[in-house]
Amino acid sequence: MKKVLVLTTTFPRWKGDHMPSFVYELSKQLKKEKLDITVLAPHYPNSSLKENIDGLTVFRYVYFYPKRYQKLCYDYGVLPALKRSNLAKIQLPLLFLSELFKCIEICKKEKIDVIHSHWILPHGLIGALIHKFLKKEHILTIHAADLYLLNRLPLKYIFKKI
């Protein structure tokens, strides 16, 4: 059975959460296809750092302390948070580095075969790095907002080749 690590910033914070659930629903469907699905998502205050939701192992990484000041994900989404908060702008590189290191840890500990990234940044870039350095297969799912973002990036041609 292939072990898949899903990278996302949009995932229910706990069972029954109202967060958009498209990554969660896709992950549940992939599990039905006999794939072992593990999810890596950002932490949210009062959410568990590791839990099982409907057969999906979910890891959450803390990207800023104190935890209650994590501003990038969940309430508004990353792009709106960046527009609303200077603190969120400071947290962006911390989110990237925290996710990258946790991803490496999980890949090694859980013997992951495939990285499934949602969104070009930061997950697609992290998945590309893991593919290059840890030799894991990488699948990138691009959502509509990615195309808008990609066309605004100054180095968009580099990202299109990844």
| Residue-wise pLDDT tens digits, 97-115 | 999 999 999 999 999 999 9
Q: What is the CA radius of gyration of the chain?
A: 15
Sheet containing strand 3-7, edge to edge, reads: 50-53, 56-61, 36-42, 3-7, 114-118, 137-141
Q: How far apart are CA 52 and CA 149, in angstroms?
A: 32
What is the model's pLDDT at position 153? Answer: 58
Where are the domains positioned within the chain? 3-161
8 Å CB contact between 77 and 149: no
| Per-residue confidence band for 6, with pLDDT thresholds at 50, 70 and 90 | very high
DSSP output for 83-122: HH-HHHHHHHHHHHHHHHHHHHHHHHHHT--EEEEESIII
User: End-to-end alpha-carbon separation of the chain, Å?
Assistant: 27
Question: Quick one: pLDDT at residue 16?
Answer: 87
Confidence of residue 25 (pLDDT cuts 50, 70, 90): very high
pTM: 0.89
CA distance linking residue 16 with residue 13, whole number of Å? 9
Say which residue, 4 or 157, is predicted with more confidence. 4
User: What architecture (CATH level 2) is domain 3-161?
Assistant: 3-Layer(aba) Sandwich (3.40)
* Secondary structure of residue 5 in the 3-state scheme: strand
Give pLDDT tens digits for 41-96. Answer: 999 988 999 999 999 999 999 999 999 999 888 877 787 888 888 999 999 999 99
Instruction: Bin 44: left if φ > 0, else alpha if -120 < ψ < 50, else beta.
Output: beta
Residue 140: enclosing H or E segment and its boundaries?
strand 137-141
DSSP-assigned states of every residue in 36-75: EEEEEEE--TTS-SEEEETTEEEEEE--SSSGGG--SSSS
- Distances, alpha carbon 105 to alpha carbons 33, 40, 50, 77, 102, in Å: 25, 11, 14, 25, 5
- The pLDDT of residue 116 is 98
Average pLDDT, the chain: 89
